[in-house]
Amino acid sequence: MIKLKRHKPIIAFIVVFILLLFLHGIGLLRPLENALVWLSKPVAARLHDWGANFNRNYSERRAKTDLNVQVAALQGEVAKLTVGQANCQDLSVENQKLRGQLQFLNVNDYRAVSAAIIAQDANSQGEGHQDIIINRGAKDGLRVGLAVVGSDGTVVGKITAVKDLTAQTCLVTSPNCKLAAAIQNETRTVGVTDGNLGLTVKMDYIPPAEKITVGDIVISSGLGGSIPRGLVIGRIKSISNPSNEVWQSAMIEPLENFNDLTVVAVIIP
């Protein structure tokens, strides 16, 4: 008797369930079922919309996340390719300059030491001073006064100080960077060039009787020092010949673009 009372809820549930199945089978519950379906339509519609919106938002977020990951990966690849291309271009430019130097040295039978510019001298003082440091020094046979040339063989400066592994070079446009020079005119006018405020090169004390013209090439004269004759310094850009002055002067434009200097060669006589 106690066991029967304990199972009464289960028995009642089974009886009700069977009764509902029977009533559903003979169609007596159809009006009630239709009413329940009609009443549940708004809730079902809302649940359906909520589920659809959730799935759509989740899919969009997932797609956006995947797209961001892909974009980040592609940006990383682009950065790597850009760096690689820049390195290749830089190496190509330096190789081209070195080939030009080698050709110049072979043609002129010069002995030289190639060097890379590693710094601008922070100790260079005064307006227009443009001293640079190269990665060769006394152990490579360098000494003060040697000519430094660029990729096309034109003089860009001369050695002013030497250490074991490095050397300081003044550019020809730097004040007090003097070179014994000669103009390739009819009389091969000789003189001394000096830097002019880091922009051009100036040649003073040219006798007024000397005939010089714009466009004349100025070369090293080979007089004194350790710089051989014939190295191109630049081209005459303008001439100053005031009537009340004893001397005339010439402004010389270097043929090398010093902003592009990365490798040089030191001529060793």
Q: Quick: pLDDT tens for 31-47.
A: 666 666 666 666 666 66
Distance CA 148, CA 102 (A): 14
Contacts of 174 (CB under 8 A, 6+ apart): 124, 128, 129, 130, 131, 157, 195, 198
Do residues 223 and 211 make contact, with C-beta atoms less than 8 angstroms apart? Answer: no
Q: Residue 84, CB half-sphere, CA atoms under 13 Å: how many?
A: 6
Distance CA 148, CA 159 (A): 7
Res 6 pLDDT > 70:
no
Distance CA 23, CA 15 (A): 12
Confidence grade of residue 199 (pLDDT, cut at 50, 70, 90) = confident
Q: What's the predicted TM-score (pTM) here? A: 0.61
pLDDT higher for 245 or 262?
262
Beta strands in the chain (DSSP E): 112-120, 131-134, 147-149, 155-162, 167-171, 179-183, 190-196, 200-206, 217-220, 232-240, 248-253, 263-267
Res 175 pLDDT > 80:
yes
Mean pLDDT of 143-170: 92
**R_g of the chain, CA atoms, integer Å:** 44
Question: What does the pLDDT read at residue 106?
Answer: 54
